[in-house]
Chain A
Amino acid sequence: MRNRISIWIRHPALALMARFYLGGIFIYASLNKINFPAEFSDNIAAYLLVPYFLVDPMAILLPWIELVSGVCLVAGIRVRASAAIICTLLGIFTLAVTVVLVKKTPIDCGCFQNVGDPVSLLTVGRDLLWLAMGIYVFKYDRFIHLDRLFMIKPEDLNPS
């Protein structure tokens, strides 16, 4: 039974689904931030964790890092590096949200929308779940990689 569960957990199809989900989430989250950089800048500033001279550059670039990483994750290009970046971002986000929760700073999360999404333990739990999914993708994903699609595979060269 444990073996069966272990096989299912390690199944590449499951990792593929997690990859698509995580990539989609990050693509979706980045689009609003890219469209409204000033609002996202305010959201970053509200956390009171980033020096003021870095807030705007971060508001400009961070959504694009999310977008490019999400696209790479969905398309299967440099999947492990993308998953690692996303895991890093999620780690930072989780840490920031935790700090805000501890300091009881009354701000919105700013994850998907600029307003109406207050920071809570649910946010921390959600971020931790996504972080776990990112680690899972990093470790077990090996299906449908675009950067391997047109490349000769070792098993093709040595059929025996």
Chain B
Amino acid sequence: MTPSLPHDGDRKDYHLAVIRETAAELGHTRRPGRILTSFLMSAQGGLGALGGFAALTDKASEITHLIVRGDEKVGPEEIKSLIKTATAKAEPSSFFISMDGSLSQGFALILACPLEDDRLAFLGLAPAMHGRDYDPDDRQLLISLSSLFQISLNSALFSTRVELLNTELEKRNTELDRQVFYLNGLKELSMEAGESVDVEKFLAAFLPTLLGRFSRSQGMVVLHNRTDNAVWLKTMGIEPEPALAALPVDRLLFLCLAGVENKHIQPLQAEPVVQVEPLFPLVPGFAPESAFLFLVKDQMYGAILLGPPLEDHKFSDPEKKLLSAFVAQSVLHLKNADSFAAIVALNRNLAEQNQALRDTIDELTQAEQRISVLESAARQIARMVSHNAERIMQVRLLDFILIIGISLALGSLFNLQNPKGLSFFPLPRPEAVKTVTVPEAVRLLSREKALLIDARPREFFELGHAPGAINVPPSLFDALYTANFNAEDPERPLIIYGRTVSRLYDEMTARKFINRDHEEVHLFLGKPGDLSAKGEAP
């Protein structure tokens, strides 16, 4: 880029060569400072300027890059002042800015190139060597170079912005990766918690996950249910391992509560413990770096204590939020586990109640069956009773047989025992008693002076009797015999008559005469009228 100008054609070739070289040079660089330097050198060399400067301003017209060459009389401060003035005079329609001699600080040409984002690039050239004035060709060359410069600088600025964006994106990616790492931890914790609904198992899975995800070597989780005074404790990396019996759980939770900012913790809420130093003496060999106090439900408190990070890593706010989310998630799982335990207990209780109910139903069913049987029996008994009642009211042959049978039995027994009892069967006729026919009777009455005796009762005798008959009924025999027959000859024949369909009075009286030693006792079996008809009379 040596300034040699033999004639106009050569000069134009030279300018084109300068433009080409400048374009080639600008094509290899993306840094604004290099572009400014290259542009200044190309312009200075192409026009033969003694010196110059190139500057870049931002939106606020502050100079971000400044390159000064050749002119040692003008300092940066003067150039800044010049640029401020030039900025005020810059016009979009023209690169060149006309300035008065005092304001131009000795620069012959001053150009302002508008760039993207309201930036401006400035080029100032000192007078040409040998006192030559800049002609229109020089200005044209400078315009061409400015266009190149404008394009290159815009491209460089865009590249720079892209690089900055890339850097920012990488930074954010790193942050996102970390967050994804933590969120994966949360997801894994949720999955593990979903598989386990037992508090003990959940704590056993939770603490290693928490420590692993947040790069902690020591940690402890303690949970205290004041309702039934149950305590769960899980530790990792603490030497010696603290014993549950020796751990002052109440004091630990109290100190955690004292260390949180919000003392009114609600169920399912976790609060970070700001002051962890008071916790140091509680667990030997464990100085927690961070801690959380949480409330699972009323009367069920817990605390998570984490040791210092493995590396000297300072946790960012998102990480701290993730840790809080981790803890909050664990509290939720603990609540679920506790609820599940309560549901299991309720289910067990419900199953027992169901069993009791089933037993009761079985007993009721059996009782119902027994009642049915009893009711059936009662109905049968009622039917039997009704049947018997109806039968009692009915007249049965058996009743007659019973009454008459009892009467017969009693009558027979009484008659047997009665001295005045009767014989069931009629007595046989005595052998000494003979029967006589009508002729014999007549003969006995007429020839042998036989006595004719009517044996019937007096009432029948009085109604009618054989002539000459004496009434001697058996019932009055003894009295009549004493009165009338004591003096009678026992050998005198006696003819006795008087029998009815119901009573053999003649035989009865004859038997009594035999008993009185009468020898001739005859029974007349005919009718009394037969004797009167014959006209015989005693």
A: residues with CB less than 8 A from B are 34, 36-38, 41-42, 44-53, 55-57, 59-61, 63-65, 67-69, 72, 78, 80-82, 84-85, 105-107, 142, 145, 147-148, 151-154, 157-158
Contacts and interface: CB of A to CB of B under 8 A. Distances in A.
12 contacts: A34-B414, A36-B420, A37-B420, A45-B502, A46-B459, A52-B499, A52-B500, A67-B407, A67-B410, A68-B403, A85-B404, A157-B378
A31 B451 CA distance: 41
B389 interface: yes
Contact of A78 (B382, B399, B499, B504): B399
Contacts of B504: 52
Nearest to B382: A157
Interface string B446-485: 0000000000010100110000000000010000000000
A65 B422 contact: no
Contact of B406 (A38, A68, A105): A68
A152 B385 contact: yes
A93 to B, nearest CB: 16
Given A81-B395, A157-B385, A63 B411 contact: yes
Nearest to B427: A56
Contacts of B402: 78, 81
Given A37-B422, A45-B503, A78 B403 contact: yes
B415 interface: yes
A94 B382 CA distance: 44
A59 B415 CA distance: 10
Interface string B191-204: 00000000000000
Contact of B388 (A41, A64, A72, A151): A151
A49 B500 CA distance: 10
A80 B389 CA distance: 13
A80 B390 CA distance: 12
Contact of B418 (A37, A44, A50, A145): A37
B502 A38 contact: no
Contacts of B394: 80
What is the size category of the interface that chain B forms with chain A? Answer: 35 or more
Given A37-B415, A68-B407, A81 B502 contact: no
Given A72-B403, A81-B395, A85-B400, A64 B408 contact: yes
B501 interface: yes
B503 A52 contact: yes
A158 B386 CA distance: 11
B338 to A, nearest CB: 58
Contacts of B534: none
A80 B395 contact: yes
Contact of B422 (A56, A72, A107): A56
B422 A49 contact: no
A41 B422 contact: yes
A4 to B, nearest CB: 26
B393 interface: yes
A55 B411 contact: no
A65 B385 CA distance: 30
A106 B463 CA distance: 9
Contacts of B463: 106
A131 B415 CA distance: 29
Contacts of A60: 411-412, 415, 421-422, 424
Q: Which of B388, B415, B423 has the most CB of A within 10 A?
A: B415
A50 B502 contact: yes
A49 B501 CA distance: 7
A53 B410 contact: no
Given A80-B399, A154-B382, A154-B386, 13 more contacts: A37-B420, A38-B422, A46-B502, A51-B502, A52-B502, A52-B503, A56-B426, A60-B411, A65-B404, A68-B406, A85-B400, A105-B459, A154-B389
B500 A45 contact: yes
B392 interface: yes
Given A61-B411, A107-B459, A154 B385 contact: yes
Contacts of A65: 403-404, 407-408, 411
Contacts of A153: 385, 389
B379 to A, nearest CB: 9
A100 to B, nearest CB: 12
A69 B388 contact: no
Contact of A61 (B386, B400, B408): B408
Contact of B503 (A55, A68, A151): A55
Contacts of B411: 60-61, 63-65
A84 B395 contact: yes
Contacts of B420: 36-38
Given A78-B403, A81-B395, A158-B382, A151 B500 contact: no
A48 to B, nearest CB: 5
Contacts of A34: 414
A56 B381 CA distance: 48
Contacts of B418: 37
Nearest to B421: A37
Contacts of A142: 393
Among B381, B414, B422, B475, the one with the most A-chain Cβ atoms within 10 Å of its Cβ is B422
B476 to A, nearest CB: 11
A107 to B, nearest CB: 6
